[in-house]
Amino acid sequence: MAAWAKRLAGVRGVLLDISGVLYDSGEGGGTPIDGSVEAVARLKRSQLKVRFCTNESQKSRGELVRLLRRLGFDISEDEVTAPAPAACQILKERGLRPHLLIHDGVRPEFDQIDTSNPNCVVMADAGDDFSYRNMNQAFQLLMELERPVLISLGKGRYYKETSGLMLDVGAYMKALEYACGIEAEVVGKPSPEFFRSALQAMGLEAHQAVMIGDDIVGDVGGAQQCGMRALQVRTGKFRPSDEHHPEVQADGYVDNLAEAVDLLLQHAHE
C-alpha cells in the first residue's frame, strides 16, 4: 500500500474530472478508460458523495452526459459542474453580450444569452473552429472595445484524444491575450470560484473533499489551492514528468481511477 494513502482519511466527497479520467474522447465519441465505469459505480454505492467537475467546453452538459451514459457511466446532468453554465451566470450578472468563439456542440448552453451587438468575447475549446478567420474575428472585436473583456472556459494546454494530444483552449487564449495586450478571465478549473461552486453543490467543505484528475496544474494544483486534497491519475494527458512538476505535487499518484477508488474505499473512513 502507498504510504500517502493515509492522507485520504476523513474524505467525505470526491470530485471527478471527466476527460482523461472517465474516458478519452475521440472517434465515435471516445473510449472508457479501463476500470472507470466500475469505479464510478462503486463510488456511488459507497457513502462518499460524488460530483463531476469538468472543463469540457466542446459539448453541452446534455450531450456529454448522453455520451457518457452510452459508454456505461452512471451520471446525470445535475451531477456535473461545467464552465459554460458558470459563464452564463457571469454574463447575466454583468450585462455582458458575448461574441462566441465556441464549438457548435456547446452552443445550446448559450441559448438564453443575448449575443447582439457584442461587448465581450467568450471562448471555449472550439477544436476545428479555431480557424484563422474565427480567431481574427474575435481579435478584431476585442481591439474595437474600449474595455476589452475576454472570458475563457478553462485554460488547459492540451488534452488527450484516442488519436493523440490535442491543443486546448488555453493555447488560443494565450494567442488572443498576447495579440490584444490583455488578460483573460478564466471560468472553470483552476479558478477557485469554480471549485467552490462544485463543493457547494455537494454540501462539503474543501478539507472534506478530494479531486481526482489527469491535469497536474488545472486539477491537482487548482484543487489544492482551494484547500482540497488531490490525486493525479496516470491516464489521459498524464506525462511522467508531471510527477516531478516544479510547482505542484499531488497528494498521491495512481495508475487510474480504479486504483484511486480502491484506496479511497479503504482509507476514507479511517
Shortest distance in whole angstroms from residue 180 CB to its own copies: 8
Least distance in Å: CB of 82 to its own copies? 22
C-alpha cell at 175: 494567442
Ordered DSSP codes for 72-120: T----GGGEE-HHHHHHHHHHHHT--EEEE--GGGGGGGTTS--SS-SE
Closest CA to 20 of 168, 134, 141, 124: 168
Give the integer Cα–Cα distance in Å for 56 and 48. 24
C-beta closer to its own copies: residue 76 or 163: 163
From CA 254, how far away is CA 263, in angstroms rounded?
Answer: 9
Q: How far is the CB of 246 from its own copies (least distance, A)?
A: 10
Closest separation between CB of residue 182 and its own copies, Å? 11
CA distance 241 to 44: 32
Q: Which is nearer to its own copies, 176 or 263 (CB)?
A: 176
What are the residues binding its own copies (CB under 8 A)? 126-133, 135-136, 139-140, 143, 157-158, 164-168, 170-172, 174-181
User: Given the complex with its own copies, which of 97 and 174 has the nearer CB atom?
Assistant: 174
Give the closest residue to 120 by CA, choosing from 90, 93, 141, 89.
141
Return phi, psi of residue 95, to 5°. Answer: 60, 35
**Nearer residue to its own copies within complex by CB, 160 or 229:** 160
Grid cell for residue 144: 474595437
Q: 41 or 182: whose CB is closer to its own copies?
A: 182
Single-letter amino acid, residue 14: V
CB of 217 to its own copies, least distance (A): 10
| Contact between residue 225 and residue 92 where contact means Cβ atoms under 8 Å apart | no
**In terms of residues, how long is the chain?**
270
Q: What is the grid cell recorded at 14?
A: 470526491
Query: To the nearest whole angstrom, how small is the minimum distance from the Cβ of residue 181 to its own copies?
Result: 7
Residue 156 or 252 having the CB closest to its own copies: 156
Rounded CA separation 117/69 (Å): 38
Nearer to its own copies, 137 or 197 (CB): 137
Q: How far is the CB of 103 from its own copies (least distance, A)?
A: 11
